[in-house]
Chains A and B, each alone.
Chain A
């Protein structure tokens, strides 16, 4: 995250490859399910042996014996509907919820976040030297309407996507944050409204950032977890 601050986001998980390297973020939507970005995986049918989800830590490189750290292998991957750029990961076992690990709410189907809502992104990705790269960084962003967003993006932003306002200073997600959450505080709950996907440039000043709109795919998420 560029332009963020160290912070806490107990539903944000770190995806780890076979070498134990962090390569993407994810959001814990059920004890055994993580929602992340399709971009993070080379294929919907790739072998997942050795891939893990790490939770319960703020550090990018936690010590193995760090209290609260949970490492859970990924058992299965389900790719979202075409164009969703989403992937659901089923974990080999349920995680333990505690102060460091919490679920994030899913929005109602087709819910549209009101413009002006303050949200936050979180991740261990590239900070371009603006934050502490060893811990989880969080940045605040405000939602804007698709109509406003499409002015700068010349109509390319779809309804299954949503935007946040571009700030004067570079603030936003970057490489290594993909799949992480855009969480908004609504009716005293944190709700997973967006998923970080790659934009043409990271944290471009005065330029709206685009996220996948989770509410469009909530029915798919529930269906996968149910089936």
Chain B
């Protein structure tokens, strides 16, 4: 009992804008009952790839483009949901890929594809139509080749070649029990199509997407009809320290949020990967055990969150809060953060060292402590430098090497290639850490600017507040 919506992936609260004003989308159709009916109208139309659904007027607007089309832009919208045909959004192939409508246009050996409407350098029999979807030079599978989408190549010596697009079944993996999986697999292990989560048929269920919505929502794979559990997605093999296959690299690339590497003595980001043994709150209140329901009843039972390591009464972050936290042993205080756990320094490994404040550093490190490439001192973009090789000749501002032309006490720095970060300190450390001149010895003169004034606090203090 599949719904026409099954062919669509929704982005809630999103509008797809076409930046070329000469191109006009279809008219709004107000005589539809719901998004499903819109899907029923768009689905069979070859020139309909997506539609807007107005959640207040219940109207819909058919669109001949998707977010992957040129000159389009996704925009937040208070009134629209955007439904796009999955075939045009997927980056992997289902079955042999005859329905693939993605935009990959290179072959397995990296050769650019020849346009389907071109007969040179390779002549062929295909004529692009809306039905066969032979668009531009995108990989396609017009003849049902078991090897999946392919294309003619621009290399006269290689007539055609496969594009090597992964099967959706192989392209995804889950961590642990897959509770963080947000990918687009919509088939069960036995190949049965999943029901959409936002539909209550054929099976009624309590999992309303609205309850779990994040700002950008993809269709969540539906009810799993295979009694055996979480469908066809393989569990990732445990990462064994090879950074090329580190969890972060693999996980991210396959529609899986970044998987925190676990830390024991500090926490990174929101601390979701923290696995240390701190068991008091910042205020020093002992934490309640996760497997206890008193003094505070809660739903974070360790067996239900097996990936979150809810052992004993250790501070953890099982729900994406700002930092590790716990239920407290104090009846009047339900939960509290454990900010006393220090944050891990997220600097990259230092590659060199400098003396003093680094004013004389003349090495060739050209990366910031976050690993961002330095901008050349002689360049004007992305940042207009105040210090240039001509304005500070004594600093030998060569290429994009880290230097300290303004005698910054925190060491060599550079302008960065990140448009959002004008400057940053470098992946360097002090050579003579122990010989740093102490600031605690000489008294300093006190010179203050115009500031630090306020109404006499004591009067206000004594007077009763509003």
Contacts and interface: CB of A to CB of B under 8 A. Distances in A.
Partners in one complex: yes
Contacts of A199: 340
B397 to A, nearest CB: 15
Given A6-B465, A82-B425, A201-B340, A175 B282 contact: yes
Nearest to A18: B215
A189 B322 contact: no
B452 A23 contact: no
B439 interface: yes
B346 interface: yes
A109 B439 CA distance: 10
Contacts of A58: 465-466
A10 B454 contact: yes
Instruction: Give the interface size bracket for A toward B.
Output: 35 or more
Interface stretch (B189-197, B293-301, B455-463): B455-463
B95 interface: no
B143 interface: no
Nearest to A202: B283
Given A6-B465, A135-B465, A175-B283, A190 B452 contact: yes
Interface string A90-102: 0000000001001
Instruction: Give the interface size bracket for B toward A.
Output: 35 or more
A155 interface: no
Contact of A7 (B386, B444, B461): B461
Interface stretch (B33-41, B120-128, B405-413): B405-413
A159 to B, nearest CB: 5
Contacts of B440: 112, 145-147, 159
B352 interface: no
Contact of B322 (A42, A84, A204): A42
Nearest to A5: B461
B448 A187 contact: yes
B446 interface: yes
A178 to B, nearest CB: 7
Contacts of B342: 198
Interface of B, secondary structure class, is loop
Contacts of B449: 105-106
Nearest to A111: B444
A102 B465 contact: no
Given A110-B439, A201-B284, A227-B422, A39 B339 contact: yes
Given A99-B455, A187-B448, A191-B452, A198 B340 contact: yes
Nearest to A21: B322
B454 A220 contact: no
Which residue, B322, B386, B439, B452, has most C-beta atoms of chain A within 10 A? B452
26 contacts: A6-B465, A7-B461, A10-B455, A39-B339, A42-B269, A43-B269, A45-B420, A58-B465, A81-B410, A82-B345, A104-B452, A105-B449, A110-B409, A126-B282, A126-B336, A145-B440, A146-B440, A187-B448, A191-B448, A198-B339, A198-B340, A199-B340, A200-B284, A202-B282, A215-B439, A220-B410
Closest 6 CB pairs of A and B: A189-B452, A81-B410, A201-B284, A105-B452, A190-B452, A105-B451
Given A43-B346, A105-B452, 5 more contacts: A10-B455, A39-B343, A81-B410, A190-B454, A201-B283
